[in-house]
Amino acid sequence: MILIVGGAGYIGSEINKELNEAGFQTVVFDSLVSGHKEATKWGEFVQGDLNNLEDIRGVFKKYKIEAVFDFAAFIEVGESVKDPQKYYFNNLVNTLNLLKVMKEFEVNKIIFSSTAATFGEPKYTPIDEVHPQWPINPYGWTKLMIERVFADYDVAYGLRYVALRYFNACGANDEADIGEDHAQESHLIPLILDAAIGKRENIKIFGTDYPTPDGTCVRDYIHVVDLASAHLLALKHLMDGGESKQYNLGNGKGFSVREVIDAVKKVTEKEFTVLEVERRPGDPPILIASSEKIRKELGWSPKYTEIEEIVATAWKWHQKKDDK
């Protein structure tokens, strides 16, 4: 049985679906603070909170867990600056709780959602795994601290982990049965789609004077289905007895905010107002991943590399979500 902590969220639910399709048995453990029960229709489901050791022990007692995926974290960079305590308790302390129970039950394999935010301001691009890690916000620090904890637990207790550092996760699967649905949305693609569908009056471009070809920030948009395939390869790696690893996950191509807006206009054939406003604090001009390491070592390669294709899958889901 594979345990998916935070499996009711955007990325966790996609991995749960794909694990089931690949023949694995899964149990999702989620507090439903931000996840959606209807996104957990594959495998078993247990509602519980990582701040409660007995909740976690309950799952390990009930099921014979072979490996764990951990997607349970708060992810809003801006909120983490305003309320770091919320982030350090949930993302750091609660993950320590999970590791404690894994150790009690002698489960030593974990695949962890880490982030490009562990790198902070890029010193060079594309960002590879040896790029220095010095986060510029509490969110990034919580994830980097856990990466450090894993490294120490590996040496001391034989924990084997794969930390996957996502760049800008986006898109939805072909069936568009689950997808991105945050109560407080701050991510670019769903916000532009909200403008296209008429739920927002406009989309604001945060800064047009960056040192980039069109003056707007460039990001590496990685499709959730490509993230899922990387997770399955990481699981196989650990199940085959592989050692602990860290991998950056991006599609290797950067797209500017203007390019993403143009792609949405083309795909949706909708017009909407685009406003140019001040920079948002803390945004580096360019974030592009080098994913050479996971390509070489695990044979991963992304299916979705063109922004219009990516946006089209997100649009399909976005319209469905709003019909619900």
Q: Which residues bind ligand UFG (CB under 6 A)?
A: 75, 77, 115-117, 139, 168, 186-188, 191, 203-206, 217, 219, 257, 280, 283, 287
Distance CA 259, CA 122 (A): 21
Reference 40, options 53, 49, 31, 52; nearest CA is 31
* Residue 48 Cβ vs ligand UFG, minimum distance, rounded to whole Å: 24
- Residue 115 or 248: the one with the smaller Cβ distance to ligand UFG is 115
Q: What does residue 57 show for φ and ψ, rounded to 5 degrees? A: -60, -35
* Residue 53 Cβ vs ligand UFG, minimum distance, rounded to whole Å: 28
* Residue 90 Cβ vs ligand UFG, minimum distance, rounded to whole Å: 14
* Residue 204 Cβ vs ligand UFG, minimum distance, rounded to whole Å: 5
Q: Tell me the HSE value of 297 on the side-chain side, using a 13 A CA sphere.
A: 18
Reference 261, options 302, 318, 205; nearest CA is 205
Reference 283, options 145, 77, 141, 143; nearest CA is 77
What are the residues whose beta carbons fall under 8 Å from the beta carbon of 21, sequence distance 6 or more?
none
Catalytic pick from 87, 139, 153, 304?
139
Consecutive H or E run containing 153: helix 138-157
* Residue 287 Cβ vs ligand UFG, minimum distance, rounded to whole Å: 6
What DSSP assignment string belongs to 217-279?
Answer: -EE-EEEHHHHHHHHHHHHHHHHTTPPPEEEEE--S--EEHHHHHHHHHHHH----EEEEEPP
Distance CA 204, CA 275 (A): 5
- Residue 257 or 312: the one with the smaller Cβ distance to ligand UFG is 257
Whether 247 is a known active-site residue: answer no
Q: Tell me the HSE value of 9 on the side-chain side, using a 13 A CA sphere.
A: 22
Q: For strand 218-219 and strand 255-256, is the pairing parallel, antiparallel, or unpaired?
A: antiparallel
- Residue 60 or 71: the one with the smaller Cβ distance to ligand UFG is 71
* Residue 165 Cβ vs ligand UFG, minimum distance, rounded to whole Å: 9
Distance CA 117, CA 140 (A): 5
Sign, CA torsion 237/14/286/260: positive
- Residue 13 or 168: the one with the smaller Cβ distance to ligand UFG is 168
* Catalytic center residues: 139
